[in-house]
Amino acid sequence: MVFRTSWDTVFRSVEMAVAWGRANMDMTEITAIGVDEIAWQRGHKYLTLVYQINEGAKRLLWIGESRKAETLQRFFSWLGKERSELLQFVASDMWKPYLQVIAEKAPDALNVLDRFHIMAHMSKAIDEVRAGEVKQLKADGYEPILKHSRWCLLKRPENLTASQEVKLADLVRYNLRAVRSYLLKEDFQGFWEYVSPYWAGQFLDRWCTRAMRSQIDPMKRVAGMLRRHRELILNWFHAHGTVSSGSVEGMNLKAKRTTRKAFGFRTFKGVETALYHTLGKLPEPEFTHRFC
């Protein structure tokens, strides 16, 4: 005879396995963590995710509902004071509540700002410039030269298709604000090639001055943001590249796919269980349940 289990029974079994795994997970040698958030449900609801990003030991450590200072404080309470003091690196974006909590709870750790998010701010600024310029050109009766140009300006040159390369080559002949913004972004890529924090800082200062003089408001806002976070941005070089945000972004993509697949679990508890099961690399229980 074949017995079919209900989804509720399956979920309870997974929940029990996750609870056992969380209670018996190895908490030693956690010296590098990455903090990020992903959108969950509609209405600007977020989950705060904390990953262990030690070389050779990358996994989801903790999940919190919302992205407030109190949320990250709960993580450090869970981690404990002694383990928090052992942290050497914390990778994060520039979300102010996160930065404040990290400075308070892990003052001896090097807070490395996420390279991906810095470049994402620039891409967002370029998109804003391009959209505004498209409307302005149309209103002024000019040829819609920027039409279908979005990905030409947002992609790295090496990732462009053949047709996008042709389009970009055509665009750079015009003195458009969107093109000048794109050139500023591409010039900034040279920042990550430095080794010395001092010379990287010199480059950053010169770039910010150029961006402020561009008279392109979205790029000026990016420059102001970089100036305000100058010290933390340069920590990327003090870490000597030992902390990579690439692993955080990779796990975030998996987390987003998991939350989409777990759409049937509308509660935080359901999504939390699905994420720990998928990304937590938890030890398996000593007992298993088999259904047939």
Torsions phi, psi for 92 (to 5 deg): -155, 175
The fold for domain 14-114+245-279 equals Nucleotidyltransferase; domain 5 (3.30.420)
Specify whether the CB–CB gap between 185 and 123 falls below 8 A. Answer: yes
pLDDT, tens digit, 9 for 90 and up, residues 25-82: 999 999 999 999 988 877 678 899 999 999 888 999 999 998 999 999 999 999 999 9
* pLDDT higher at 289 or 111: 111
The pLDDT mean for the chain works out to: 86
Residue 3: pLDDT over 60: no
Q: Give residue-wise pLDDT tens across range 131-189.
A: 998 888 788 776 667 777 777 777 878 887 888 877 777 777 677 889 899 999 999 99
Among 87-96, 106-115, 144-153, 248-257, name the one with the lowest average pLDDT: 144-153
The span from the CA of 178 to the CA of 278, in Å, is: 41
**This prediction's pTM:** 0.82
pLDDT, position 104: 96
pLDDT at 215 over 50: yes
Residue 68 confidence (pLDDT) = 92
pLDDT confidence of residue 12: 80
Q: Give the per-residue pLDDT at 264.
A: 53
Residue 142: the pLDDT is 61
pLDDT in tens, 230-288: 999 999 999 876 776 677 888 888 888 887 776 556 688 888 888 998 899 988 876 55
pLDDT band at 5 (very low <50, low <70, confident <90, very high): low
| Residue reference for tokens 């690399």 | 281
Here the tokens at position 210 are 């150029």
Alpha carbons within 13 A on the beta-carbon side of 165? 6
Evaluate whether 79 touches 68 at the Cβ level (below 8 Å): no
**pLDDT value at 211 more than 90:** yes
pLDDT at 124: 95
Delimit the domains of the chain by residue range.
14-114+245-279, 116-228
- Residue 205 to residues 68, 70, 227, 273: CA-CA distances in angstroms? 31, 34, 8, 45
The answer on pLDDT for 4 being more than 70 is no
